[in-house]
Amino acid sequence: MEPTAAEVAEADRQFSEWMRANLARAAEHFGVTVTGEPVFGWRLRSISAPAASPDGHRWLRVVSEQVQWAEGDWWTGNADANAITGIRKPRVLDVVEWEVPGVRRQRAELMTYVPGRRCSDTDVLRAEVDLPAEWWGELRRSLDVLRATPTTRIRKDAPGIRKAVHDALGLSIEVAEWETVHGDLHWANLLQPELGVLDWELWGRGPVGTDAASLYCYSLLSPRTAATVRAAFADVLDTPTGTTALLYVAARLLRRTSMGDHPELASQLHRLVDELTQQ
């Protein structure tokens, strides 16, 4: 029997309190003091907050996962991203892990603090954002630096991409060109007024144009900003490889909408897929 809405809400409340306790445990371990209201990640699986340390401002993050999934590239992504230079981003300073035996594993990361405000409180941009040409130029430069960064990490492999697109769209695609990508580039992971790029869990090799395609798809509810993204990355998106990236991202986000995340984006994504397949 499906749980009631009230039961789900109570389970979320209890899990949120447990995650707050995990954040407090991490702060005590690292010898820092949480100084702001915590921010929860997707489906409460992570909790983050600004913190004060003897050495200055820090950012503290704890992620929790079932033990069988607490491994692999995504689990160490933020720390692995320390290898990336030339991009304004957090740097992981220290890590600690602990486990509820056989049930869940927690990973806490103490990071440098990157000043700025997020371009959006949600992944999907629901209101137009006005950013100067310098910001867009720095975003393009940062993604160019990233794409040239060597790594053995993989955002998603070719068979997984083919399956995702076929399952969501009923289409067959082949990825011909690869590059290093952030892998989750959306508006809540970008800072202004000075560009900063957050949340490096999923970075690795992916189809050329993945990051530009992601930002474009997450902009579809704000047409003026979407047009700016499309123009800024026209040399990437308006190509066969760009079409592949857009179809892959659209398939990934449509799966998310089917799970209840940002359902208002679904119609725009279907419209985009129709446009791409009629070219």
For residue 96, pLDDT over 80 is answered with: yes
pLDDT range class, residue 2, cuts 50, 70, 90: confident
Q: Letter for the amino acid at 97? A: E
Do residues 23 and 62 touch, judged by C-beta distance below 8 A? yes
Class of domain 5-112: alpha beta
pLDDT range class, residue 186, cuts 50, 70, 90: very high
- Residue 109: name the closest of 67, 153, 46 by CA: 46
User: Whole-angstrom Cα distance, residue 83 to residue 69?
Assistant: 24
For residue 1, pLDDT over 80 is answered with: no
CATH number of 117-277: 3.90.1200
Query: Collapsing DSSP states into helix, strand and coil, what is residue 218?
Result: coil
Average pLDDT of the residues of the chain: 96
Q: What would the mean pLDDT of 32-37 be, rounded to a whole number?
A: 96
User: Whole-angstrom Cα distance, residue 73 to residue 80?
Assistant: 8
Q: Letter for the amino acid at 252? A: R
User: Whole-angstrom Cα distance, residue 239 to residue 247?
Assistant: 12
Residue 53's DSSP bridge partners are: 56
- Alpha carbon separation from 110 to 15, 46, 52, 124, 156 (Å, rounded): 22, 13, 11, 27, 27
Do residues 225 and 125 touch, judged by C-beta distance below 8 A? yes
Say how many C-beta atoms besides its own lie within 10 A of residue 2's C-beta: 6
Say how many C-beta atoms besides its own lie within 10 A of residue 99's C-beta: 12
Q: Which two tokens stand for residue 111?
A: 């990071």
Domain ranges of the chain: 5-112, 117-277
